[in-house]
Chain A
């Protein structure tokens, strides 16, 4: 992937983003439970870049995406989009940024309203932002449908008449309707079968080339993430544990969790599997309501040391553009 990226042209910067869900119970809500879904995540995305975000279920990847687009209110931290901190603007002011940031959802069956025609679904952002009316609106819808490989006859159909892959493409067309700069792809291919996954991923890549889009690509399918991403961040229990260029991460995973995650990728070569070792993690992910002290991964880490329990490891640059949060990097030196 020979993309020309300007390292100074940062489109989105996330600084120490936190999203805690507080639930109240008891008669007067006197007891509170705090779920630390995202707890201090920082990263930058350059214009035209694709940042992959991986991690197991419940680690806060989707919450990170949804918090960036303000589906959830930010608990603390900053989300700087194109130089403006959008984490604190009002919902009314947020409207203009909604034209620039869009989202593609995981479940193509749930993300389209089954009572609306495909034309109306794609036309909804056009109506909301008063982009066009009447014939012009129709033309935009047809263009978008053709852009995602469907035909204009499909505009009068209902979502349930389409296959999963087609529906996901309708979702992409809807996101493209406002001409966004940045698209958050929230596991857009997890619900699709493998042949369709490639189709959708290739389309996302083509669209990126044509329209100069920037992606935050959230997924748990590591091979697919490696294929599409320039850089990859690994999340564990609400925190970013490692962030590196995709090739670097796959060749030299630094964090024990990344190593375990990558060892789980099946390799289509019987010899390689014999020699390679599969790191199996013991135990379950601890609850984000009451995360472990110090390093959050320490309960399942085979290199666990005393320091891991007391001190939270810092997210440091261990080699150029390769960040990791593990005490192994500092203690041994």
Chain B
């Protein structure tokens, strides 16, 4: 073996740049950026968020954009559905036959104008005679009371023009009232949008009130613990066992039913669940070492609460707030539905549904649209809440 000379310099350690060892190359990401990144991956939640955004925007600017007012009554144009059957009189004249046996002038693409006055109303033979552009149109509604043998098709009425039976020319969308009108001839679209305002307003106020009372109450209870906690939580228990309905009825008796009593009722009862959540969080967080560290530094209780405990409990707080909104919307709708809600002419989704009940068999669309609005909004908030829970859950955090 021949002796090889190895350059000693090769055995020297490669000098390590002290600075390099401590450099963090990953971009800085706050907790909220991280949560947003995860929320964006959840398609249903983003759909819910988009819908909520759309709903809020509609509620805010909708009433200024649409042509009808939510409270203007057009009694002649009551109960007109969103889809209407029209008959052709001549090329320029079309009529719409309403199920209450009234005739309206209408254009071929569904723009309603006015009710046509009959020239003759024969109550004994159940016939109405109209004169439309010189044509004699006869509405015979005696079929509805005829026996099955005489009326095998089961039709309720027949329209005759100059003695000839008229057939449905077309079924068109109601251009004047996109979602139809209610029993007092008010535009359903305007009322549903206005209802969104009331429902979202109540949900928003209830949530804000819950947030402040619940976080403060739960925070104090959890932070001080012991006897204070025990006493405060028993008060919560007592509030919790009083049924909300009873509470609202009592409040309505004192301050009258309406928006105010619903808001007071929801605000004074709903914070209970929030207080419990915050208390539980604070109870566990206050034993964390960073809270102990703050205490060894001499931080005041207020500072520990605001800087350490509440920011760290924010995840569950936000999730429970998002879950609380649909619950508040539904409670408001329910209370309005049973007649403890907002007063006419104000409309919330619950009162709209209630108003529709009377004519449910004839005009089901009046119940359908407010119910749809309630369901879809609740669904959207629940989807968002689920997504937020996944996104903010520290256990899923990597």
Contact = CB atoms under 8 A, between A and B. Distances in A.
A38 B118 CA distance: 101
B307 A128 contact: no
Contact of A110 (B19, B290, B296): B290
A151 B28 contact: no
B298 A110 contact: no
Nearest to A149: B22
Contact of B24 (A103, A105, A112, A161): A161
Contact of A113 (B22, B23, B290, B295): B290
Contacts of A178: 297
Of B23, B288, B303, chain A has the most CB atoms within 10 Å of the CB of B288
B298 A98 contact: yes
A161 B289 contact: no
A178 B294 CA distance: 13
A275 interface: no
A250 B80 CA distance: 97
Given A112-B290, A113-B312, A115-B311, A124 B299 contact: yes
B289 A124 contact: no
B292 A71 contact: yes
Contact of A158 (B28, B292, B298): B28
Nearest to B230: A29
B287 to A, nearest CB: 9
Given A111-B290, A116-B307, A157 B295 contact: no
B293 interface: yes
B13 interface: no
Contacts, number: 81
Given A111-B293, A112-B290, A95 B28 contact: no
Given A110-B288, A114-B312, A154 B297 contact: no
A174 B312 CA distance: 20
A327 B186 CA distance: 98
A229 interface: no
B376 to A, nearest CB: 35
A150 B23 CA distance: 9
Interface of A is mostly: loop
Given A116-B307, A174-B293, A157 B28 contact: yes
Contacts of B18: 149
B285 to A, nearest CB: 10
A162 B23 CA distance: 10
Interface in B268-316: 288-290, 292-299, 303, 307-308, 311-312, 314
Contacts of B311: 113, 115-116
B125 interface: no
Interface residues of B, number: 27
B297 A128 contact: yes
B298 A171 contact: no
A154 B299 contact: no
A261 B185 CA distance: 90
B224 to A, nearest CB: 14
Contacts of A71: 292, 295-296
Interface residues of A, number: 37
A105 B295 CA distance: 12
A156 B28 contact: yes
Contacts of B296: 69, 71, 98, 101-103
Contacts of B30: 158
A174 B293 CA distance: 9
B31 interface: yes
Given A103-B293, A128-B297, A161 B288 contact: no
A204 B118 CA distance: 102
Given A95-B298, A125-B297, A151 B22 contact: yes
A171 B293 contact: yes
B298 A129 contact: yes
B31 to A, nearest CB: 6
A105 B28 CA distance: 25
Interface in A67-126: 69, 71, 94-95, 98-99, 101-103, 105-107, 110-116, 124-125
Contacts of A107: 289
A166 interface: yes
B26 interface: yes
A59 to B, nearest CB: 19
A95 B312 CA distance: 25
Contacts of A102: 296-297
A171 B297 CA distance: 12
Interface in B4-51: 18-19, 22-24, 26, 28-31
Given A69-B296, A158-B28, A158-B31, A115 B22 contact: no
A227 B164 CA distance: 114
- Closest A-B pairs by Cβ, 7 of them: A111-B289, A98-B298, A115-B311, A110-B289, A113-B290, A105-B289, A95-B298
Interface of A: 66, 69, 71, 94-95, 98-99, 101-103, 105-107, 110-116, 124-125, 128-129, 149-151, 154, 156-158, 161-162, 166, 171, 174, 178
Given A113-B312, A154-B24, 11 more contacts: A71-B292, A101-B296, A106-B289, A110-B290, A115-B31, A115-B312, A125-B297, A151-B22, A151-B23, A162-B24, A178-B297
